[in-house]
Amino acid sequence: MLEARPVVLSSPLSRGFPWPAPAKLNLFLHVTGRRANGYHELQTLFQFVDVGDSLHITPRGDQELKLSGAPADLAGEDNLILRAARLLRQASGVPLGAEIHLRKQIPVGGGLGGGSSDAATTLVALNRLWNLGFPLHELAELGLQLGADVPVFVRGQAAWAESLGERLTPVDIEQPWYLILTPPVQVSTAEIFGAPELRRDHPRVQLADYLAGRCDNDCTPVTLARYPLVGEALSWLNQHAPARMSGTGASVFAAFANEAAAHRIARQVPRSWHSIVARGCNRSPLLEVIDRS
């Protein structure tokens, strides 16, 4: 347990500074096995994009944790933001709290990591605002208790991921512009990974296989069979550029050579679908804020 330091309430970061919680893409996703406890062995490639949620956090001198701005169905005590704050407070032993306002932009149930990113940003921001001094690798270990995707958001580097998705190797890959579409449906990750028809024996691959175009998403056939709207979005986007599904969906994405090309296609997207034009990032916008602070 780290010794608590006094919170510097006069710090500029303590006055509602917006901490970014960027979305991520799974550029591919292979299921390579299943453990006896039901968890799945994976290989995937994470890359951030330069859009996402943001958290405005003001530390408190008492132990009260207040969250506002979360969607109604995510606003309870089980919200990953509150769980992350409680976990960090327990690990450090500090008798402190915070007021957290979430500005939600990442579609819920879209496979873009919104909840995990919010949790990671909470850990990183409160570590700074509560003056705890945890290094990133220790915050990442804490984050793993909240979800397999949380460590990559804490570490903030595009990464080749294995095991449950937490064994990370930083990579430096192209950073194209993406058009990301999310039809009006929320996909249950637990449902897709629990599906009996999901392939669970994909041979292991290397980064060179991805770069050669030999990787795909094992969850796509399962999601498309159960959520036809995702299939419609994928088919539509495939007419304009090679498209893939992120994670278990519902979001699909395609890469473009420049921002103008992505926006040109975005203007044609059916109005009922959520669309984002974003730049791929090998370094998370969250790390850029930490550097500037």
What domains does the chain contain, in order, with CATH numbers? 16-171 (3.30.230.10), 177-281 (3.30.70.890)
Predicted confidence band at 1 (pLDDT cuts at 50, 70, 90)?
very low
User: How confident is the model at residue 2, as a pLDDT?
Assistant: 39
Checking if the pLDDT of 3 tops 60, the result is: no
User: How confident is the model at residue 7, as a pLDDT?
Assistant: 36
Catalytic residue among 53, 66, 118, 149: 149
Q: What is the pTM of this model?
A: 0.92
Checking if the pLDDT of 163 tops 70, the result is: yes
Mean per-residue pLDDT for 196-211? Answer: 96
Active-site residue flag, 291: no
User: How confident is the model at residue 175, as a pLDDT?
Assistant: 98
Catalytic residue among 24, 53, 118, 218: 24
> What percentage of residues in the chain have a pLDDT greater than 70?
94
The pLDDT tens digits of the residues spanning 122-138 come to 999 999 999 999 999 99
Q: Is 113 annotated as a binding residue?
A: yes
User: How confident is the model at residue 11, as a pLDDT?
Assistant: 42
Mean per-residue pLDDT for 269-289? Answer: 95
Active-site residue flag, 118: no
Q: Is 69 annotated as a binding residue?
A: no
Predicted confidence band at 14 (pLDDT cuts at 50, 70, 90)?
very low
User: How confident is the model at residue 37, as a pLDDT?
Assistant: 87
Q: Is 111 annotated as a binding residue?
A: yes
User: How confident is the model at residue 72, as a pLDDT?
Assistant: 74
Q: Is 112 annotated as a binding residue?
A: yes
Checking if the pLDDT of 270 tops 50, the result is: yes
User: How confident is the model at residue 142, as a pLDDT?
Assistant: 96
Predicted confidence band at 16 (pLDDT cuts at 50, 70, 90)?
low
User: How confident is the model at residue 82, as a pLDDT?
Assistant: 97
Checking if the pLDDT of 185 tops 60, the result is: yes
Read out DSSP for the chain?
A: -PPP----TTSGGGTT-EEEEEEEEEEEEEEEEE-TTSPEEEEEEEEEEEEEEEEEEEEESSS-EEEES--GGG-STT-HHHHHHHHHHHHH----EEEEEEE--SPTTSSS-HHHHHHHHHHHHHHHHTT----HHHHHHHHTTT-TTHHHHHHTB-EEEEETTTEEEE------EEEEEE-S----HHHHHH-TTS---PPP--HHHHHTT---BTTHHHHHHH-HHHHHHHHHHHTTS-EEE-TTSS-EEEEESSHHHHHHHHTTS-TTSEEEEEEEESB-HHHHHHHH-
Q: Is 115 annotated as a binding residue?
A: yes
Checking if the pLDDT of 15 tops 90, the result is: no
Mean per-residue pLDDT for 50-64? Answer: 95
Checking if the pLDDT of 293 tops 50, the result is: yes
**Mean of pLDDT over the chain:** 92
Checking if the pLDDT of 274 tops 60, the result is: yes
Mean per-residue pLDDT for 208-231? Answer: 97
Q: Is 213 annotated as a binding residue?
A: no
The pLDDT tens digits of the residues spanning 96-130 come to 999 999 999 999 999 999 999 999 999 999 999 99
